[in-house]
Amino acid sequence: MTDDRTAADYAAVRGGVGLVDRGDLGVLDVTGRDRAAFLHAMLSNDIKGLTPGRGCAASFLDVHGKVQVLLTVLALDDRLLVLTPPGLAAKTLEALDRYLFSEKASFREATGERALLFLAGPQAPALAARLTGAAVPAEPWSHAAASVAGHDVRLVRGAGETGDPDVWVLCGATAGPAVQDALVAAGARPVVSAEALEALRIEGGTPRFGQDVDGAVLLPEIPLGPFVSYTKGCYIGQEVVVRIRDRGHVNRHLRGLVIEGSAVPPPGATIRAAGAEAGRVTSAAWSPGRRRAVALGFLRRQHAEPGTAVTVQWDGSEAPATVTALPMPR
């Protein structure tokens, strides 16, 4: 079940706009004339095609096509910003640096140097435009310079982590408190709780690295559309990704689950179908909007069709559930 604050935060995002603080993300600052070419050869998406003001999601794979980290890359005039999951900036830098030989590219950890805020909800683009007087970019991860409360910011159109529109607001760390106050004064609900954001993220079908995705997961086992370009040329793990697309299939898929009853299963709970184990839960939370638990989990291919009835079991408890597509239908 949920408390009043979580329910109010959830409702703000689904019906208006909520403010989320993502200062926990890692940041890498990448400079040098070969920065785009180098990352293009490393990552699963088209980095060389990013002109200033553009961006993309991407993954760094091993040679077997398994996900080492999920990233966001933003192209500025003189550098690339790479956003990593919390606590993984240094590890990501080290992993990429192992492949850097003669290329003119320099990596520096810049975690904490910028405030990373985002507005989530159907009114997020309008609030950002009203406050800044600037047009909000329409394409996911496109971005533009603007000003909030006299401070320079960068407005970044997000990819809809919660399933609703979102707009990121990036600024210098020292400007963060003033920018946050201005966003709240303009009508954003502060600050959306982790509990509400988890339910919103699960419903939005956004996998979290280290929780839903790790080094044992093949990229094609998750909804990979935002992370991959099939026309960019070679990158680490590409052969596996293309071979699965063209000549095979994966044996499991990340799917959503809507679970009956009031109990929220823990990560690792067993998913059963047709009397046999069919998969495992990776994330779960109580959804104030659905009045039941929602979850993400991996399901064997034969049980992954949306609408399939399954049972979730954990610690002597069990609950019926229904498999859903991602994002979850409303």
Question: How does DSSP assign 251-280, residue by residue?
Answer: SEEEEEEEE-SS--PPTT-EEEETTEEEEE
3-state secondary structure of 145: strand
Separation of alpha carbons 306 and 326, rounded Å: 9
pTM: 0.96
Determine the pLDDT at residue 2. Answer: 64
What is the span of the domain harbouring residue 60? 24-108+238-249
- Token pair 């049972």: residue: 311
Here the tokens at position 58 are: 């991407």
Separation of alpha carbons 50 and 306, rounded Å: 35
Say if 69 falls within a structural domain. Answer: yes
Say if 166 falls within a structural domain. Answer: no
**In a structure prediction context, what are the per-residue pLDDT tens digits for the chain, which is 330 residues long?**
568 999 999 999 999 999 999 999 999 999 999 999 999 999 999 999 999 999 999 999 999 999 999 999 999 999 999 999 999 999 999 999 999 999 999 999 999 999 999 999 999 999 999 999 999 999 999 999 999 999 999 999 999 999 999 999 999 999 999 999 999 999 999 999 999 999 999 999 999 999 999 999 999 999 988 999 999 989 999 999 999 999 889 999 999 999 999 899 999 999 999 999 999 999 999 999 999 999 999 999 999 999 999 999 999 999 999 999 999 999
Cβ contact 208:283 at 8 Å? yes
- Looking at residue 212, the DSSP 8-state letter turns out to be T
- What secondary structure does DSSP assign to 66-95, as a single string? BEEEEEEEEE-SS-EEEEESTT-HHHHHHH
Report the CATH number that the domain containing residue 99 is assigned in CATH: 3.30.70.1400
Determine the pLDDT at residue 224. Answer: 86
CA 180 centroid distance within chain: 21
Say if 260 falls within a structural domain. Answer: no
Say if 31 falls within a structural domain. Answer: yes
Cβ contact 257:297 at 8 Å? yes
Determine the pLDDT at residue 1. Answer: 56
For residue 92, which amino acid is it? T
Structural domain count of the chain: 1
Say if 73 falls within a structural domain. Answer: yes
Say if 89 falls within a structural domain. Answer: yes
Beta bridge partners of 144: 155
Say if 263 falls within a structural domain. Answer: no
Say if 87 falls within a structural domain. Answer: yes
